[in-house]
Amino acid sequence: MEDNVVILGVTKTTSLIFDEEFPQLKKVDVIPYDIRYSKSLTLAVKLLADAPRIFKVIKRERKQLAQIIKDYQIDVVISDNRFGLFHKNTECIYITHQLNIQAGLFSFIANKIHHYYMAQFNTVWVPDLEDRSKSLAGELSRKNRAKNVEYIGYLSRLPIIEIKENTYDYLCLLSGPEPLRTKLERVLIKKANESDKQICIVRGSRKELKFFTNKNVTVVNTPVSDELAKIITHSTTIVCRSGYSTLMDLHHLQKKNCILIPTPGQEEQEYLAGYWSQKFGSQVIREKELSSFSFI
C-alpha cells in the first residue's frame, strides 16, 4: 500500500479539510453536486424534485472521471456516495452506510434509484458492522437485495487520545449545510453566553465569527484531526448534529454522553438520533425545541 499514489477528488467545500489533513496528496477538482436544501421540504423530497439536474451532473461526472483515469492511469476508484464515479474498465468501489434510505413515503423510489446506481459498482463498502447487535447505523445499513456489499467496520480519521482530565463541560460540534449551520451556531453561542460552564464550539467553518462570546466560551474554526480528537476526548458532553460521520467519530473515541440535534428535514439524521437514543442513551433535541435548552 505504501507504493500506491493516491489522488483526491475535491470540491470547493471539501478541499478545506483535505488541504489541512493531506497537504502532500495530489488533488483534482471534481464536479460538485450542489445539493440545495429547502426550509419547507424534506431532503428526500427536495432531491427527488431536483433529480433531473442531479442526473445531468452524474453524466458529466462520469465523463470527467474517464478523463481523470486516462490522465493519471487510475487503477481503483473509491466513491464516497457519488453515483457518477464509476467506469466499466476500472475497479470501482462505492461507500455508503445507507443501504436502506429512510425517506418516509418516498423510501421505495429513493431506494430503487440508489440500488440501481450501487449495482453498477464492483463493490459497495458499508462503514458499519454486519452484526445487527453492534451496528451504529441500525436499519440504514442492513443488507437486503444488494449482492456486492462488504461491511468494513466503523471509520474515523481521529486518533485515540489518552484521557487525563476534562477541559470542557460541553463541546458543540457544528457541521452541515448553510444556512442551517450558522443558525444553530447563533443559538448555541447565545445559550453558551448565558451559562457559566466551560464550553467549546468547533464551528466547522472559516467564515468570520459575527457573534460575541464570553470568556467561558472557546471557539475553534476547523481543527485538524489531532486537535479535534483532543477537544472531543477532553469534553464531558458533546452537542452535535446526528450525521453518521460524526457519530462514528464519537463511538471511536468512546464518547457516549451526547446531545443530538438532527438537521431539520433530513430523515436519515432523524432516524439516527432516535436509534442512538434507544441504543446508546443519547439525548435528542429537535431544533424547534432549542429555545428551552440550556447548558446546566
Q: How far is CA 12 from the centre of its chain?
A: 16
Q: Tell me how long the chain is.
A: 296
> Could you tell me if 144 and 173 lie in one domain?
no
Tens-place pLDDT, residues 160-205? 998 778 899 999 999 988 889 999 999 999 999 999 999 999 999 8
Domain of 214 in residue numbering reads as: 168-292
From the list 289, 183, 164, 174, the residue with the least C-alpha distance to 235 is 164
Q: Would residue 138 count as lying in a domain?
A: yes
- 200: helix, coil or strand? strand
Q: Would residue 195 count as lying in a domain?
A: yes
What pLDDT score does 40 carry? 60
pLDDT band (50, 70, 90) for residue 21 = confident
Tens-place pLDDT, residues 253-288? 999 999 999 998 889 999 999 999 999 999 999 999
What pLDDT score does 28 carry? 95
Residue 71 has pLDDT above 90, yes or no: yes
Q: Would residue 14 count as lying in a domain?
A: no
Q: Which of 102-106, 166-170, 222-226 has the lowest mean pLDDT?
A: 102-106
Q: What share of the chain in percent tops pLDDT 90?
A: 72
> Could you tell me if 188 and 115 lie in one domain?
no
Q: What mean pLDDT do residues 123-134 have?
A: 96
Q: Would residue 100 count as lying in a domain?
A: yes
From the list 261, 262, 260, the residue with the least C-alpha distance to 270 is 262
Q: What share of the chain in percent tops pLDDT 70?
A: 96
223 is written with which cell numbers?
481543527
